[in-house]
């Protein structure tokens, strides 16, 4: 009785080899896992569901996947594996999907929407030319070559499938001339690594905003906190070596290529007009704004001045926060995301662990809080006489006693043995001395 493995060994691999797919040793990826498999809590531990695994991924270059092939055992219909092939193609952002039973080869072309029966697999050159033609890149060989520039292969691991897709979408957008680009990726899914690979591809291929083939791009990585700048500079972006520079101490340096800075180091304040003005407006080719939802794109933000000063540069926003009312300005500024990877997708793929909800209800969340007459914050300023509720805490007003009570409760909860924690629970914190409540506003 023939099996799927027999189809792969006797028919699919020889057919791919005959079409020239093994001339490059990296051109065929066999039995490649796409996901890790969803994590399912089980008792005190967990189990993993099977990962999604493609029979064959076809690479035009080492880091550029161009098609997926799914095989079913001989005797089934040639289209039997097409649904699975299309599922993987859509996950991976591919334009060509193939289904085969060994005797028949069926192609689905996402450019045309047509399903076609073939007598052989297309060669790498044929498939690449079709891709360039339908992407509108046939007359732009320099752009096409930049698009397939290899990743920097770190010792740890190659990019996951969604990271590859985020990198590719961002690079495609920049190479096509889109000056404002947004990536929305859940916390913990590797935005910093994605931004590094985007920079590496553009830097290694000598792309720049002016189209000067003699120089590499100058890139500015912006964030609002020191550790969000220092950690990428010293770790993820380490392969750039001496091309890196951290902007600090009020000094502008013009001799490097990869710059890192907090907004505060560049922005104006009551003591200085703004270090960013010492750089020519067109000095940077690309500005990456990490955690861009934190106010940098708001019309009223002083940080917006930095982005507007460097307006000739391409600007890439990175955020983990989907569109909400409070971050609408960022989406208006950068535009719709060229790629989105959600928390739900990360959990389903097994790259993120599922979470359990532990609700904490303090007396102030339950009943609200209103300052007493003449209450002052910790800076000695009067507290506006209003009634504050959960939505206001840590946004408009911060109650020190509330913060301490919640932190103490969570600490005690985490110290408990795992088995004693309920998957979902509500806890109430009461009887905290009322006089400790007000003293801090933001």
* Of the ranges 234-238, 264-268, 362-366, the best mean pLDDT one: 234-238
Lowest mean pLDDT among 97-106, 146-155, 310-319: 146-155
pLDDT at 423 over 80: no
| pTM of the model as a whole | 0.84
Burial of 326 (0-12, 13-18, 19+ CB in 10 A): exposed
| pLDDT score for 10 | 84
pLDDT tens for each residue of 202-250 = 999 999 999 998 999 999 999 988 999 999 999 999 999 999 999 988 8
Percentage of the chain exceeding pLDDT 70: 90
Residue 196: both structure tokens together:
């590094």
| Angle formed at CA 241 by CA 155 and CA 276, multiple of 5 degrees | 125
Q: Which residues pair with 74 in a beta bridge?
A: 76
b vs e for 53-81, b when ≥16 Cβ sit within 10 Å of the residue's Cβ? ebbbbbbbbebbbbbbbbbbbbebebbbb
Which residue's structure tokens are 């909860």? 413
How many CB atoms lie under 10 A from the CB of residue 209? 17
229 within 8 A of 235, measured Cβ to Cβ:
no
Rounded Cα–Cα distance for residues 57 and 85 (Å): 10
| pLDDT score for 153 | 87
CATH number of 144-349: 3.40.50.300
pLDDT tens for each residue of 315-360 = 999 998 887 766 677 788 899 999 999 999 999 999 998 887 778 8
Rounded Cα–Cα distance for residues 276 and 282 (Å): 12
- Mean pLDDT score of the chain, rounded to an integer? 87
> Would you identify the CATH topology of the domain 4-135?
tt1808, chain A (3.90.1570)
In CATH terms, are 4-135 and 144-349 the same topology?
no
Q: Where are the domains of the chain?
A: 4-135, 144-349, 358-436
């Amino acid at each position: 009785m023939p099996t799927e493995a027999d189809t792969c060994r006797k028919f699919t691999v020889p057919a791919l080899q005959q079409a020239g797919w093994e001339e490059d040793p990296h051109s065929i990826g066999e039995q490649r896992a796409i996901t890790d498999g969803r994590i399912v809590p089980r008792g005190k531990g967990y189990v993993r569901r099977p990962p999604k695994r493609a029979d064959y991924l076809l690479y035009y270059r080492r880091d550029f996947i161009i098609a997926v092939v799914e095989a079913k055992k001989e005797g089934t219909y040639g289209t039997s594996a097409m649904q699975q092939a299309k599922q993987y193609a859509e996950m991976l952002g591919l334009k060509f999907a193939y289904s085969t039973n060994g005797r028949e080869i069926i192609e689905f072309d996402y450019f045309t929407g047509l399903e076609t029966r073939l007598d052989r697999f297309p060669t790498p050159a044929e498939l690449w030319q079709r891709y360039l033609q339908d992407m509108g890149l046939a007359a732009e060989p320099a752009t096409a070559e930049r698009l397939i520039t290899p990743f920097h292969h770190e010792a740890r691991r190659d990019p996951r499938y969604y990271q590859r897709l985020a990198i590719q979408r961002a690079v495609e957008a920049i190479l096509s001339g889109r000056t404002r680009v947004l990536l929305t990726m859940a916390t913990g899914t590797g935005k910093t690594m994605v931004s590094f690979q985007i920079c590496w591809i553009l830097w290694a291929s000598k792309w720049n905003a002016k189209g000067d083939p003699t120089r590499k791009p100058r890139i500015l990585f912006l964030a609002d906190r020191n550790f969000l700048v220092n950690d990428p500079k010293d770790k993820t972006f380490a392969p750039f070596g001496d091309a890196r520079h951290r902007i600090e101490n009020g000094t502008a340096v013009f001799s490097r290529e990869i710059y890192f800075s907090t907004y505060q180091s560049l922005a104006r304040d009551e003591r200085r007009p703004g270090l960013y003005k010492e750089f020519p407006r067109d000095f940077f080719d690309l500005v990456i704004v990490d955690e861009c939802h934190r106010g940098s794109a708001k019309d009223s933000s002083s940080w917006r001045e930095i982005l507007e000063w460097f307006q000739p540069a391409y600007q890439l926003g990175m955020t983990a926060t989907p569109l909400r009312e409070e971050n609408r300005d960022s989406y208006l500024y950068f535009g719709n995301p060229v790629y989105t990877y959600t928390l739900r997708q990360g959990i389903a793929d097994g790259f993120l662990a599922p979470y359990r909800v532990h609700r904490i209800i303090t007396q102030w969340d339950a009943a609200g809080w209103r300052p007493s007459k003449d209450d002052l914050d910790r800076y000695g300023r009067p507290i506006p006489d209003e009634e504050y509720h959960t939505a206001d805490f840590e946004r408009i007003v911060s109650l020190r006693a509330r913060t301490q009570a919640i932190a103490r409760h969570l600490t005690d909860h985490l110290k408990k043995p795992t088995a004693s924690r309920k998957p979902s629970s509500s806890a109430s914190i009461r009887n905290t001395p009322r006089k400790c409540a007000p003293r801090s506003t933001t």
